[in-house]
Amino acid sequence: MTNDFHVSLQNVFEKETQLILAQKELNKIKRQMDIAEATKAKALCELENAKEILQNLTTKLTNVRQSKQSAMQAAEIVKTQSRRFEKTLSLKAVGYESWKQELDHARKEYNTTITQLDSSKQELTKIRQDFDAVLEAKLAALQAAGEAQRSAKLNSERITELSNEIATMKASIEQLKLASEQQSQEELPQDMEQNKAQLVSYYQAAKEEAHKNLESLRSEYNPELVQSLDAKLAKTIADIEALQDQIKKLHSSKMDSMKLLTSELKEATETLEDVAGEKNSLKKLVFSLRTELKQVKEEQDAVKEKEHTAEALCSNLTGELQGSEGEAKPKLGTVEDLEANILYVQSVKIQKLQLETEGARREAEEMKRKAQELKREAEKSRALAEDAEEKLQLVMVEAKEAKAAEQRAVKEIKILSEVGSLPYSKFNGTIMMSNEEFEALREKVKKCEDLVEKKEAIVMAELQEIYARKNEVDRKVETSLKAIEETKAAAETALWSAEMADSAKVTIESELRRWRQQQQKVAPDASSQVLLAYMLPSTEITIIGKNILHHGIISIVGGMHSRSLVQRNEDNTKKLTFNSSSRPQPVASQPANAECLNIMLRCFVKCAKPNAHCKDRQTLEGRQNKKTKNFKK
């Protein structure tokens, strides 16, 4: 017993350990399941985040594409403007690459010319500064030369006076000698000696005075000063010659700048001519827009007439339907009930057509409103074009005035150059052109440059505005034309669908007449109720035997209704039950033959609609062929 008890205890312990291990494994599996669910939730969150990121990236991609398209459109606009303003009409036949290279080359040359113009302007300012400094040095040198000339004149006058005095003194000495000789011959020797002593003393005093005067003159007359003055005079003459050379260079640079101004004015006139051409093209575009608006109005009137005809047709159809509905309701399960249901379907279709025509009419009204807006915008663009024409005329007048001012400036420069080339005073050609005249010429050149730049900037801004408005008008016209085409297509489809509905109504009525004629020969509860079961989606019937459905479909499709065939299969037919409502509903479990009949009838209904798919017809024909083969076998 004890051994059995120990064995049982061991078994219990083993089972408990196994249970504990199983619980641990179960907990481990649960933890793994929780981890898997957490990872799954995390993965789902990451998937949603990835989807959001994908959507954001797609939106960004679409935005980038739109920006790229807008950039491409802007680039195309810039290209067209560059073609128009840079006159590259002759380069269109060469090709895009060569045109691009030449355009880049022209831009580079334009940039180089601009840099050269800036450098030349800087050099001109430097030369003007140097010229001002040289003028100041020249004035100082001229003042020093004038002072040296005045001092030289004074010294020369003093020297001439002293030389005259010395000559007079020598003449007086000779006269005194002659007189003394005569007196010495006539008078006594005593008197001669006295006179001689007096004369000697007088002559010595005069000689001393003359020596003093000569020394004072020599001290006043400094040869080094004269040499320095001569050197300064030569230096000033060299500076004057250098200034003349610089003035010649300035004159040549001014002539070059005037040539550049004339070329820029020519380019401005060419751009103005281009603007005039663009104005003419805008006028033509406005005229074409007016003609298109007239055509659109005519088309809208035609669409309205079609809509009125469609509305009249729909009203007639609704009246007929109301009249037919006003008649006595037919019995359930008969051909009259089938005809009433078909007329109900046709009334639904006619209501849809009425809604479509109303939508088309509203769209036509919207298009009319848009056309009026476009007309107003075209009038605004025409007014803007007229304003641009007036501004262009003003710019042309100002350009002519600038040309006249340029010609006057050129004439003045020529006159000044001719005057500058003439010989001047004894100091080797001093400049007769004053600073005021030079500043006036410089101001005229600056005014011409500023005027040309301002007019060019104004014309470019106006052209850009005109092009932007033209592009907006073109886009609006394109959108309006597209909308008009869409409304036309919608109206045509509505009319076509109405015509198809009429034709479908006629065909259905003819088929109903034919079925009535056949109903007199065939049992009425076999074929007509089967047609009711699958023609309308709300019919409810019980399951019908396979043979009656099969042979009923064949008799309906082939037009061979046989009383003996129906009587032979009446034993397999179950009772048809209908609800109290006017529209019965089908049972969910339909046999294959009923499905075939349903497909056939749905295909028949779809063929009355525009753009209907006929896949059901193909499947029906395939199944019908299989059924006929099986039936023949």
Same domain, 495 and 556: no
The boundaries of the domain holding residue 35 are 10-45
Domain assignment present for 120: no
Same domain, 299 and 380: yes
Same domain, 493 and 533: no
Contact 495, 306 (CB under 8 A): yes
Domain assignment present for 74: no
**What averages of pLDDT result for each successive group of 10 residues across the chain (633 residues)?**
58 67 71 73 71 69 66 65 57 54 70 70 68 66 66 66 67 70 62 66 74 69 68 76 76 73 72 73 75 76 75 71 56 57 70 73 74 72 70 69 67 58 42 62 70 72 72 73 73 73 74 76 50 39 36 39 38 36 37 43 43 43 51 44
pLDDT for 464: 74
Q: Which residue has the tokens 């106006």?
A: 462
Domain assignment present for 159: yes
Same domain, 406 and 439: yes
**Burial (0-12, 13-18, 19+ Cβ within 10 Å), 72:** exposed
Same domain, 494 and 545: no
pLDDT for 402: 65
pLDDT for 526: 44
Domain assignment present for 72: no
Same domain, 278 and 364: yes
Same domain, 435 and 307: yes
d(CA 292, CA 375): 10
Same domain, 477 and 571: no
Same domain, 448 and 530: no
Domain assignment present for 97: no
d(CA 380, CA 373): 10
Sign of CA dihedral 42, 46, 47, 51: positive
Same domain, 381 and 478: yes
Contact 548, 526 (CB under 8 A): yes
Same domain, 278 and 388: yes
Domain assignment present for 185: yes
pLDDT for 607: 43
pLDDT for 539: 35
d(CA 66, CA 284): 31
Domain assignment present for 140: yes
Number of domains in the chain: 4
Q: What is the CATH number of the domain that holds 383?
A: 1.20.1270
d(CA 375, CA 289): 8
Domain assignment present for 553: yes
Contact 381, 281 (CB under 8 A): no
What b-and-e string marks burial along 393-419, b requiring 16 or more CB atoms within 10 Å of the CB? Answer: eebbeebeebbeebeebbeebeebbee
Domain end marker among 221, 238, 269: 221
pLDDT for 397: 74
Q: Report CA dihedral (369, 374, 379, 380) to the nearest 10 degrees.
A: 110
d(CA 526, CA 387): 84
Same domain, 487 and 533: no
